[in-house]
Structure 1
Amino acid sequence: MRSLDIFYPLQDVLAAGNLTELQPGRRLKLFLGEYGISIFVFKSILLDAQRDSGPFSHQFLVLIVPKILLDTPHSCFTIEVIQHDLTPLVKHLAPGDEVPIQFVVASEGIKQREVLCEVVSALNGSVLVDDLIFEKLDDALIRYFPCKLLKIRRFVVRSMVRSEAILSVDAPNESASEVEGHNVQAASKTKKKGKQKKGKHTSRSTASSGEMQLCHNYLDSFHHNGIISGLMLIYLHLKGSTSSAGLVKTVVIGLKAGLLPMFMKNCLPCLHIEVVEVDPVIVDIARKYFGLVEDERLKVHITDAFAYLDKRAAEEVLAEEDHSLKLDILVVDVDSPLPTTSLASPAICFIEGPFLTRAKHSLSEDGLLIIHLVTSFSGVRLPVYSSLKKVFSTILILHPDEDANDEVIFALKKDSPVTEEQLSAAWSKLAASLELQEKQGWEQRVVDSSKLIKLL
């Protein structure tokens, strides 16, 4: 008898029997999907009605139960994309070829939705920004934001949610920097009028009472908190930054909505940040709708990542191998441009030899490469690890749990091994360092994430 606590691959169950035959009261947990056939692997439960259950309005019903504000690939796609991926998979479960499949989506509790921007990018296709108000909020958000009225601003590319920002009337610890398009009111006016006066800025200090502000001091996503935890672990160990100004040279490849680099700038004053983004449309949206502001500590380069690293390498040669041009931290946070791939993040070129070799060369002796990896198929991870091992000898992994589809990979340029004792000492230093800072609410999440970092 099959255990109710185990999920079984659909193909294995099909080989053992016919699932299209009704077995009254049956409850079977299944994995739907496989590498090369579907975008995702879905967890599902097959339920057969009891005998004499009465008439049904639908003989075969598929109930999709979405979750809000998650960091799995499923949450990054719209229901339409998920339904399209599921349709050929659930046909194996339908009681007959002619039985229509009825899809129903469980309520996400969306109370209000406003579309702020819809454009088409030559590089990324359809791009959308919208604001959502939910009936019920996550407990972590309620604890962090005293205000009960919150909005979630989403950055959607090709029907995939790439970033989510929090807007509140009392956004905690907001920077006093002037931010163009920083509040909901300004964004709404831009949408209605079709233009905005040049040079018009809105900051928290000048915002009127009750005006919603975008918070740059809160990172809800697992992988962003993971990047910060690993980043902080490494710069605690840097003997000295390669920068003459004493700042840790950090490059982020992939802008998205700009939430990660803005958090870095606001909360980590030791960093000098450069962002590499190939799509000017994405940069424009990050500035207008997500409060991206450049200054002496944050610069955005609209260029290809390979061209950017090659240019740095050429400048280093001209400067007669000047090591002050080396990077301390290189972050790769680039989603795959094709939703039909088993590798949702990063784009495959960023885990292959040519890029990894460039990345290692660009790093200082104490440098760190960070890659956000997202895949629904466990078999994809091993080739990624193997590719990294050919270039970097010391690799660490931050993986939240066995069921999660995303993880953060840390590759150290130094060849000397890292021990568990050194990791434990690093956690202690990180916690002590954060205890000395003015509390902003994100410190404990970073410490918790750092404790999940393990040697590969």
Structure 2
Amino acid sequence: MEALRLLPRSAQDFGSAGYWERFFRERGERAFEWYGEWEELRGPLERYLRRRDSILVVGCGNSEMSEQLYDDGYQSIVNVDISERAIKQMGERSAALRPTMTYLVMDVLQMDFPDGCFQVVLDKGTLDALLTDSEEPTVARAERMFDEISRVLQFGGRYLCVSLAQMHVLKTTVEYFSKEGWMVRIHQASGKQATGSEGKFALPVFVYVMTKMKPVPGSTSRILELCAENHDKPVRFSSLDHLIEAVKERQQYALLRSQLNKNPGAGDVSLDLCSKDGGRARYTLHVVHCPTVKVSRDNRFAIFIVPQGRETEWLFGTEEGRKQLAASAGFRRLVTVALHWDQHYESMDAIQAELSGKVMELAPLGLPAQQKVPFLSVGGDIGIRTIQHRDTSSLSGEYVIQDVKGEDGRYFRHLIFLSNRNVVQSEARLSSEASCKGTKKLKKKKKAASSDPVKPTEGSTSLSIDKSYLCCAHHRAMVAGLCLLKDPERLPEVPIRVLVIGLGGGSLPLFIHDYFSQCTVEVVEIDPAILEVATHWFSFLADDRLKVYIADGLVHVSNLVAEAPSSYDAIMVDVDSKDAAVGMSCPPPAFVEKPFLQEVRALLKMEGVFILNLVCRDTQLRDTVLATLKEAFPLLYARRIEGEVNEILFCQQQSQQKLPPAELQSSARVLEKALRQPGCIWDSTYVVADMLESVQLV
């Protein structure tokens, strides 16, 4: 109840003398310690304090910090506070014991001291109490305080500020002093949560060390540094944003540890660890708790290094997959570590050395300090990732093309949008040129001259795109859905017309083009940069039967309805959404709303099929989508992709064509037999009927 009475009505009250008078009157003489006592903060502070320094403590309150400093040999200390009651209490308490200690009633926004009379200004919590938000009047008050601190400090003097480093406080403070040419260094007080009179803070405590330097005419360089632990060497950052990101990482790490300690069985929790030099994310950690594992002495905790390029796989890239990984590995708590595409890693040993100290802080409480914790991986190595290309699209943002080594030793090419780095937008398998020469001997086949071969890290064999292989299970299912058309045994040799909305790397339209030899495929892609990527990096090549239109899919379909109604045998939609807040990452909502679905229906032949890739984690939204689809297409099949969120929906207009799943599989086997033409290599892992095995009528 006392804590509730002492809280201010608003954050602005922290700057009011009246509030602090009431605070110290109701609290009495018991010390109130913001962010810890001298012994807890000694590590970073004493590096910047000398016994002979003249020290000004601003906003001293009734903290015992000054008394502890005095008793430790720092005896030239002046304390100021806005509260007369606090100054009176503290002055009376130290009068006999600390004769050279001074306590003065003074506002830090307007101090009476002459210029340059102190070597150190010490602030424990005063800035945090004053700078309660980022509103202009509040920031102006803080900058008045900074002006006064700057005025009373000598050149070479230090402003030592103990703070929780809330983002607006950190940004305002560092911006002010770095622009003034001061040296800025941030220390994390300790790896533990800081304590105080009222308990523990969830966030770690930081010490800002701002050193007043003589201005250098014309100089624009800024010194921005971070010491993550008491004895770490400082790491220098090139920008304020990088420094702030590094501090934020330390805060997130502390919150994660707090969450794990309070609730050891918490669900999948994660954070990024940044590189020391650039502030970019270097590792992504996921902490997985597996209650089904029976605890023994040696299976309480382990670290799993995800091989490079495989962090998007279901086993490593989803919460369900990571739980399965922990269970199969037999550990109660497992930390998975994903390696980022723009970072260099020398070896498993180097990664282990870099991570061991930090990741061990995530171990379960009670784990013996000397217990050896295993580092696990697939095959014992860190995998191979080669960045082939990176660029930025005005529509899709920054993207990378990377080649990675898969579990079976084969290489794969990925297109990844960095706005959603956990999802592979497009994937293709790479094969040696020798094995690719006879892959397909289809009629009128042309080689994409613009496709660059890849030279992988291991060996010197050139690789090229294997067009016979569909990496994505949802693409395999979409092709299988063509068996819903009439006479599947004749499909490869009869003229059909297919519209594909969404190009990606182009593997889906390419496969249809190559294996349905009389088919005409039209692709609509909104982003011209993606067509360039597909052509240059995924061996996509348009011809008379494969055409690409750079257009908005919604607008293109509307135009086609007016020009060519009832002219398509199949329409496929595989388009990602840029709006992550919707709860549906594929497709954008407009593609599953009534106006678009009615236009799709008008474009299809009566016996045609509409095939949609749906990725929706929101159960209620999914149900709404299915209900809307059923209104436009009475016959609706759904096929969930095992181990993925993807769900393929097959929609038709005529409910009398309804086939039970067993007959669908039979039609799929007929289609596969027809596609396996002499002289055409077929990927043996692609069993068309299997893609419809668990299909359900909706």
* Fold agreement, TM-score > 0.5: yes
Structure 1 residue 21: Cα displacement: 5.3
* Residue 424 to residue 50, structure 1, CA distance change in 2 (3 Å): closer
Structure 1 residue 254: Cα displacement: 0.4
Match in the other structure for 1:181: 450
- 2:455–2:461 CA contact under 8 A, matched in 1: no
Structure 1 residue 303: Cα displacement: 0.2
Q: Percent identity?
A: 23
Structure 1 residue 249: Cα displacement: 0.5
State the SS of the aligned residue for 2:547. strand
TM-score, scaled relative to structure 1 = 0.67
Structure 1 residue 397: Cα displacement: 1.3
Moved more, 287-296 or 177-186: 177-186
Q: 1:286 aligns with which of 525, 530, 534?
A: 534
Distance 1:231 1:29 in 2: 44
Distance 1:239 1:434 in 2: 9
Match in the other structure for 2:479: 228
Q: Does 1:127 align with 2:399?
A: yes
State the SS of the aligned residue for 2:654. coil
TM-score, scaled relative to structure 2 = 0.45
State the SS of the aligned residue for 1:330. strand
Match in the other structure for 2:197: none
Consecutive aligned runs of 4 or more in structure 1 exceeding 6 Å deviation: 47-53, 238-241
Match in the other structure for 2:206: none
Distance 1:342 1:72 in 2: 21
Structure 1 residue 348: Cα displacement: 1.7
Distance 1:388 1:42 in 2: 39
Distance 1:161 1:424 in 2: 29
| Higher fraction of helix | 2
Distance 1:105 1:339 in 2: 34
Matched AA of 1:231: L
Q: 2:543 aligns with which of 281, 284, 295?
A: 295
Match in the other structure for 2:14: none
Q: How does 1:1-12 map to 2 (within 5 A)?
A: none
Structure 1 residue 436: Cα displacement: 5.8
Q: How does 1:110-259 map to 2 (within 5 A)?
A: 110-134=382-406, 136-137=407-408, 150-157=410-417, 158=419, 159=421, 160-169=423-432, 170-171=435-436, 173-174=439-440, 177-185=446-454, 210-236=461-487, 246-259=494-507
Structure 1 residue 237: Cα displacement: 5.2
Distance 2:425 2:648 in 1: 16
Structure 1 residue 297: Cα displacement: 0.8
Matched AA of 1:375: C
Match in the other structure for 2:650: 410
Match in the other structure for 2:604: 363
Match in the other structure for 1:393: 634
- 2:665–2:690 CA contact under 8 A, matched in 1: no
* Residue 391 to residue 363, structure 1, CA distance change in 2 (3 Å): same
Matched AA of 2:395: L
Structure 1 residue 333: Cα displacement: 0.5
State the SS of the aligned residue for 2:497. strand
Match in the other structure for 1:342: 583
Task: Give the number of the structure with larger relative contact order, counting CA–CA contacts within 8 Å between residues 6 or more apart.
Answer: 1
Match in the other structure for 2:695: 453
Structure 1 residue 377: Cα displacement: 4.1
Structure 1: gaps (5+ residues): 1-17, 34-40, 82-92, 96-103, 138-147, 189-208
Q: Does 1:312 align with 2:560?
A: yes
Structure 1 residue 72: Cα displacement: 8.8
Match in the other structure for 1:419: 659
Distance 2:553 2:641 in 1: 28
State the SS of the aligned residue for 1:270. coil
Q: How many residues align?
A: 363
Matched AA of 2:652: L
Moved more, 155-164 or 365-374: 155-164
* Residue 374 to residue 258, structure 1, CA distance change in 2 (3 Å): same
* Residue 414 to residue 105, structure 1, CA distance change in 2 (3 Å): farther
Q: Which has the larger radius of gyration?
A: 2
- 1:70–1:221 CA contact under 8 A, matched in 2: no
Distance 2:687 2:262 in 1: 48
State the SS of the aligned residue for 1:161. coil
Structure 1 residue 42: Cα displacement: 10
Distance 2:688 2:541 in 1: 24
Structure 1 residue 355: Cα displacement: 1.3
Structure 1 residue 126: Cα displacement: 0.7
Structure 2: gaps (5+ residues): 1-258, 271-285, 319-336, 341-362, 366-373
* Residue 414 to residue 51, structure 1, CA distance change in 2 (3 Å): closer
* Residue 178 to residue 394, structure 1, CA distance change in 2 (3 Å): same
Q: How does 1:420-435 map to 2 (within 5 A)?
A: 420=660, 422-423=663-664, 425-434=666-675
Distance 1:105 1:233 in 2: 49
Structure 1 residue 282: Cα displacement: 0.7
- 1:183–1:214 CA contact under 8 A, matched in 2: no
Distance 2:563 2:614 in 1: 30
Matched AA of 1:346: P
Distance 1:42 1:315 in 2: 55
Structure 1 residue 211: Cα displacement: 2.7
Matched AA of 2:466: C
- 1:376–1:405 CA contact under 8 A, matched in 2: yes
Matched AA of 1:163: S
Distance 2:292 2:697 in 1: 41
- 1:174–1:215 CA contact under 8 A, matched in 2: no
Distance 2:472 2:314 in 1: 6
Across the aligned residues of Structure 1 and Structure 2, the Cα RMSD in angstroms comes to: 4.3
Q: Does 1:270 align with 2:554?
A: no
Matched AA of 1:356: L
Distance 1:231 1:43 in 2: 40
State the SS of the aligned residue for 1:224. helix
Structure 1 residue 232: Cα displacement: 3.4
Matched AA of 2:508: L
Distance 1:383 1:314 in 2: 28
Matched AA of 1:255: L
Structure 1 residue 440: Cα displacement: 2.5
Q: 1:381 aligns with which of 622, 633, 639?
A: 622
- 1:251–1:327 CA contact under 8 A, matched in 2: yes
Distance 1:187 1:177 in 2: 25
